[in-house]
């Protein structure tokens, strides 16, 4: 109750100060900046100052460890992205340099993170200090590498409950989780995209048939549907763990291809009515030429954007399935499974932040990639819409 009064009081106070701020600006010279300022903007300025002050205050609190980490991480990534963009503006071909010059910082951050993940995934075997399934005698070493807090410099991010090196498993996780997600998204797009364009071009009963089929598949909640199919698949796979992974890729690809189908069909329908398609039809062109040479080049922008988003969803689905124990199977390292295995440590957040950070490492690896991919997608969407004008 008291808290509510405080919160409402603060907002009212900000409003009063904002009004005074604008009035003061108008009294002193009445420049167009203050003269044409709506109250909402004045409120925003004061709110920003309040938020900044609150942040500084929070920073000084000894208990706000995670807040300090978050701020340090944010500033660190921003600086790294800025340097990355600076490098991109001076290194590379004329085309990439031009690309980097017009790039917002968020997109540079996204590309940087994706590059780092890609390199980590490809060279995991060389980068990782240990193998992903190697078990050491010391279990539950605290991350941080500080012996006073229960860490060990040999395992900078600690070990899990059965003594596997978390750093190595994070690095291999990039390979497994990201690699499988990429393959899955690719399959979903090939299937969904082709069928979507086909439905848009031919129309008629094929369009109806595919459309209703997709409706049926989309009517079932996707995670529950995936779980159901995975249960069946685990029987089919028998004991073969690699076969189960293949089934998982196909199942998620099937479920996600329905969303891609919808998009490809909608985009395709807008393109099919264009006069240049009519001209190609009247020329007597075949279906393959129409779809791949006339429609596809004009649909790349929305499809690429969807690819980025879909990749994140697939990635999260795999992580969720692994968290539930039916996804990527041990001993393969996987971020979803790692969060699941170490989840109980989160309870120590109040007393021992170092200990609690163990499950958060894998979780933030997932979060970081999701954010990065979305930044890049936003940028691509912006660019493609700018081209249309």
Minimum Å gap between C-beta 259 and other proteins is 24
Minimum Å gap between C-beta 309 and other proteins is 22
Note whether 62 binds other proteins by CB under 8 A: no
Residues 6 or more apart whose CB falls under 8 angstroms from that of 81 comprise 105, 106, 108, 109, 112
8 Å CB contact between 129 and 165: yes
Note whether 382 binds other proteins by CB under 8 A: no
Nearer to other proteins, 219 or 387 (CB): 387
| Binding test (CB under 8 A) with other proteins, winner from 4, 5, 29, 36 | 36
Residues 83-102 that bind other proteins (CB under 8 A): 102
Nearest to 50 by CA among 38, 60, 58: 58
8 Å CB contact between 162 and 333: no
First-to-final CA distance of the chain = 53
For residue 165, the cross-strand partners are 159
Note whether 325 binds other proteins by CB under 8 A: no
d(C-alpha 242, C-alpha 318), whole Å? 15
Nearer to other proteins, 293 or 382 (CB): 293
d(C-alpha 238, C-alpha 204), whole Å? 42
Nearer to other proteins, 73 or 297 (CB): 297
- Contact string 283-312 vs other proteins (x = CB under 8 A): xxx-------xx--xx--------------
Q: Tokens for 368? A: 């970081």
Minimum Å gap between C-beta 106 and other proteins is 19
8 Å CB contact between 114 and 372: yes
Note whether 29 binds other proteins by CB under 8 A: no
**What's the CA dihedral at 382, 88, 76, 315 to 10 degrees?**
50
Nearer to other proteins, 240 or 278 (CB): 278
Nearer to other proteins, 8 or 281 (CB): 281
d(C-alpha 336, C-alpha 226), whole Å? 16
8 Å CB contact between 366 and 338: no
Minimum Å gap between C-beta 141 and other proteins is 53
Nearer to other proteins, 63 or 283 (CB): 283
Note whether 278 binds other proteins by CB under 8 A: yes
Nearer to other proteins, 90 or 283 (CB): 283
Note whether 40 binds other proteins by CB under 8 A: no
> Which residues of this protein are in contact with other proteins, per CB under 8 A?
32, 35-36, 102, 274-276, 278-279, 281-285, 293-294, 297-298, 387
């Amino acid at each position: 109750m008291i808290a509510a009064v405080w919160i409402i009081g603060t907002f009212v106070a900000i409003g009063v100060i904002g009004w005074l701020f604008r009035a003061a600006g108008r009294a002193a010279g009445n420049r167009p900046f203050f003269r044409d300022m709506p109250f909402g903007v004045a409120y925003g300025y004061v709110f920003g100052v309040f938020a900044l002050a609150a942040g500084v205050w929070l920073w000084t609190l000894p208990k706000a460890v995670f807040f300090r980490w978050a701020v340090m991480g944010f500033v660190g990534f921003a600086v790294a992205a800025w340097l990355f963009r600076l490098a991109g503006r001076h290194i590379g071909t004329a085309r990439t340099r031009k690309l980097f010059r017009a790039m917002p910082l968020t997109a540079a951050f996204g590309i940087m993170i994706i590059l780092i993940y890609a390199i980590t995934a490809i060279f995991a075997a060389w980068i990782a200090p240990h193998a992903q399934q190697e078990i050491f005698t010391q279990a539950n070493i605290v991350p941080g590498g500080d012996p006073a807090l229960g860490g060990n410099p040999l395992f900078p991010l600690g070990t899990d409950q059965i003594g596997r090196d978390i750093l190595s498993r994070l690095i291999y996780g990039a390979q497994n989780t990201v690699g499988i997600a990429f393959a899955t998204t690719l399959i979903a797009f090939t299937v969904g995209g082709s069928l979507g364009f086909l439905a848009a071009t031919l129309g008629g009963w094929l369009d109806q048939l595919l459309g209703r089929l997709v409706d049926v598949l989309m009517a079932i909640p996707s995670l529950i549907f995936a779980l159901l199919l995975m249960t069946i698949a685990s029987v089919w796979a028998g004991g073969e763990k690699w076969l189960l992974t293949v089934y998982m890729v196909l199942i998620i690809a099937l479920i996600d291809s329905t969303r891609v189908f919808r998009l490809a069909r909608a985009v395709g329908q807008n393109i099919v009515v264009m006069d240049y398609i009519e001209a190609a039809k009247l020329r007597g062109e075949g279906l393959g030429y129409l779809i791949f040479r006339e429609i596809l080049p004009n649909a790349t922008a929305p499809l690429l954007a969807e690819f980025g988003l879909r990749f994140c969803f697939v990635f999260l689905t795999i992580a969720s399935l692994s968290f539930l124990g039916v996804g990527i199977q041990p001993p393969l390292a996987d971020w979803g499974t790692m969060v699941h295995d170490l989840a109980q440590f989160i309870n120590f957040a109040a007393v021992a932040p170092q200990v609690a950070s163990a499950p958060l490492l894998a979780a933030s690896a997932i979060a970081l990639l999701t954010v990065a991919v979305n930044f890049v997608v936003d940028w691509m969407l912006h660019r493609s819409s700018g081209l249309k004008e």
